[in-house]
Structure 1
Amino acid sequence: MKHFFLLLAFLACTGYAQTPDARPTLDSAIEKQTAAFAEELIEIRRDFHRFPEIAGEEKRTAKIIAEYLINNGLEVHQNIGGYGVVGILNTGKPGKKIAWRADIDALPTELEDDPVEFKSQHPGVRHICGHDVHTTIAMGIAKNVAALKDQLSGTYYFVFQPAEENITGAKAMLEDGLLELIQPDEFYALHLTPFPTGVIATKPNELYAHYKKVVVTLNTTNPEGIEKAKEIIDSFDNVSSDQFGSPASFESERIGIFGYESIYSDYIFRESDFYVNESKDKATITSYFSFSHAKRLEQFKRELNERLQKNDLNTYTPSLEIIDQSYVLKNDPNVTKAAISYLGKDPQNFIELTGVFPGGRSDDFALFLDKVPGTYFFVGASDYEKGIISMPHDPNFQVDESVIGKATNVFTRFMAHRAGEE
C-alpha cells in the first residue's frame, strides 16, 4: 500500500486545509492550546513506551493517566474493569454527552529490539500497536477540553480501557458498571494505521469483516461425501479477483479499500484451507470465512443449510455450525455520516472508505458500539521518506510523533462540535 499512501501524503501537503467548523475563534483556541503542550504529550508517550504493561498489568500506566486527569481538573474514577480509568468533564452547559475511548495495554512479544531511542525497559513487552499514542492523544484531548471549558458545552467522558489486546477489557468495564457511571450519547475511538501522518479514514457500518469458523459435520467418512461437502461450501466464495487481499489490490484507486469499484465492499471470502477430522463414522469439515456485512453472512447460513440438505449429502445427515471468531466492529451509520460530513471539510486529510477489511481483524471497542452509537477512526502516523511506518504488530513499528498533536487538535475540535450539536 506504500505507493498509494505516498500519494495521499503528497495530497495532504498540497492545497490548503479548510477549517472544519464555523467557529474559528474556538478552533484557533484549540489549535493554540494544543501547540502549547505538544512536546509535553510526546514526552508522556515516550514514557509509556519505555515502560509498557501488558493486558491486566497496566497499574503504572493507569496511575499516570489518573494523576494527569486530576491535575487538569477532571473528575476521575479508577479500577473499572481492572485498571480502567474514566475522566469526566461537565461544562455545566446544555449539550451532548460525548465519550472517547483509548486502549492502554502493550503486547508481549519476542520481536527484535525497539528501533527507537526510547526503548522498552520491560524485556518481552513493547508498544507495537500504538496504544501508547492512543492514550496520549486522549489525554491531550482531555487537557484541551478542561482548559477551554468556559467556551464549550455538554459533557465529555474519557475512557481509558485496559486489556484490549486480549479482548477482555471492554467487556470487563461494561460488567463493572461503566455505563452506569457514564451515559454517553455518542462514543468514539481511533487506531493508528500505516496511512501518512494525520490522514483519517472511516465509513458507516462494518469496518472489519464478520470472521467466522464454519463447521460442517457428516455422519460418514466417505471421501466422496467429504469432497462434495467441500465443493458446496467453497461455491459460496464470491471473490473472483486473484488480487483479493494483496497490497496491490488494497491500494488500487479503482478496486481497493478506498476504490470507487472496491472489490472489498461486498464479498464472501474463504480465508483458509479445509481441515478435515475423521473419527469413527463421522467427519467434520472446518474452514474460516470473512463476510463483508451481515446480509452476506445470513445469506450464507440460509443457503448453505439448504444445499446441504437438498443433495446426495442428505443421506449423511449434515449439520452446520458457524462460530464467532472476533467481535464485529460496526460504526453507527447516522453518527458516522455526521462525522464524515464534519471531517470531510478537510478533504486533503480525510478519506471515506468504500471497502471492509477481511482477515479476522477486530477491536473490542465493538462492545461499546453495541451499546452506544459511535464511530471508530483510522489515523495515519507514517512518514515514508524517513522510513517511519506505523504498521501495528510489525517488528519495526514506529510512529511519526507529530500525529499526537495533529490528532489531539482535530479530535478536540470534533468532540466540541459534536457536544454542541442539537
Structure 2
Amino acid sequence: MGPASGRTEVLSVIGVFGTLLVTVSALYSASDDVVELSPSNFNREVIQSDELWLVEFYAPWCGHCQSLAPEWKKAASALKGIVKVGGVDADKHQSLGGQYGVQGFPTIKIFGLNKNKPDDYNGARSAQGITDAALNTLRSIVRDRLGGKSDSSSGKKSGDSKSGKKDVITLTDDNFDENVIGSSDIWIVEFFAPWCGHCKRLEPEWAEAATEVREQTGGKVKLAAVDATTSQMLASRYGIRGYPTIKIFHKDEDTPVDYDGGRSKSDIVARALELFAENAPAPEMKEITNEDVLKKTCDDHQLCIVAVLPHILDTGASGRNDYLDVMKAMGNKYKKKFWGWLWTEAGAQAELEDSLGIGGFGYPAMAAINARKMKYALLKGSFSEQGINEFLRELSVGRGSTSLVKGAAFPKINNVDSWDGKDGQLPVEEDIDLSDVDLDDLDKDEL
C-alpha cells in the first residue's frame, strides 16, 4: 500500500482520533471581518501593505484555535477600518507557517512598521487583549513615523531594483561548482541572455524576490543568475535551450529540478519558502523529564508520538541511540505534519505507561496520542523505520484502532534527570567484611 497524499494523511488521522468534521474547513468565512490569507495573497495583502496587520496562524483541528475564533472575530469587527485582522490555515499552508517559524497553534504575529520582522503576540487571548495590543502598536507606529522612521523595510516596491539586485548571486563557469555543487543550501538559478525580453521583465521580480528570500530563510535559499551567453559550458551542461530557464539545485539530488512556477516576485518567494520548509530540520526528540514537557508538546501539536525505550542497562548508550535514530528518521519523514515527538525510559513514567496500555508488548513501545480527544493508538509492529512508518500510515488512512487514555487525562509525571548520553551504571553493592567471623565457633550441626 503506497503512502497517502499529505493532505489525505492529515484528514484521515484526524478522523481516526474522533474529530467530528468530515473535512477540515477554515475557522473563518467570508461573512467574518477576518481576512483569509494564503501564499497567493499574503505578500500583496500584508507585506506590501501600509496598514498594521494582526495575523493568526491556526489549524482547524486545534482546540485552542477553536476557542480563540469567536474572540478573534470580535476583535476583527472592533478594529475594522483601523487595523487589519487576518487568519492563515497553517495546516493547509504549511510553507507560510514555516516561513514565520510557526511550531504550535494558534500563533499570532503583529506585522507593523517592518513587515519583514513581525512581532509575536503573547497577550491575553481575548478580544479586549487583542484590540489593546493592536492600538498600542498603532500608537507606536505613529510615533515612529513622526520621528522620521519610514516603512522602507516593509518589502514594498520602491522602484529601485538595485536595492534587491545585490542579493542575486552571479554565477559563472568558473565559480559555479564551488558555490552550488554539494552546498547545504538550496540554490534557485536563472539562466538568462542579456538580449532576452522575458529575462528583462523577470529581472526586477527576481531581484526583489532574492532579498525577501534571503531575509526569510536566513540565507539558506539562494537566488542566482547565470549569463548563458558567456557561461556556455554551464548552459550546455544543463541543456539550456531557451531563456529564461530556472533550475533548482538540492544537495541531495544529482541533477537539478526544473522550476515551473510563476514569474512574479510572490510566486518565486512562495516556491522558495516551500523548498525551505521541505528541507527544514527534523523535529527534536524530547525526553519526558517533567510534566511541562509532555503537556506542552502534546497540547501544541495535532499528535504527539511517545516512545518508551528499554532501560539503559538493557541497551547501553549505543542501543538507545539506535532507537533514537529510528525515531529521528521518522520525525524527518513526517516533519510537515506538525507532530511532536517524545521518549522516556521504561519505568521512569510508569503511570503514563499504564494510562497508555503499554507493557503487554514489551520494550521499546510507541503510542500516538491526540491530547484533545485523549485517545491513543499503540504500535504493534516492529520498532523500526518500516514498522513505525506502517503504523503511522495505517492511522493516516483510518485503519488504526484507538483507545481512550486511562482516566481521560494524563497521569502524574515524575521529574527525572535527562539522560546524559552515557552507558548506565549498576548500583554499587556494599562490601560485607567477614574477617571477624570464626567458622570454628559455629555449631557443627549448623554446618
Query: Shorter-chain TM-score category?
Result: under 0.3
Structure whose alpha-carbon radius of gyration is higher = 2
TM-score by length of structure 2 reads: 0.22
Larger proportion of strand: 1
Q: TM-score, normalised by structure 1?
A: 0.23
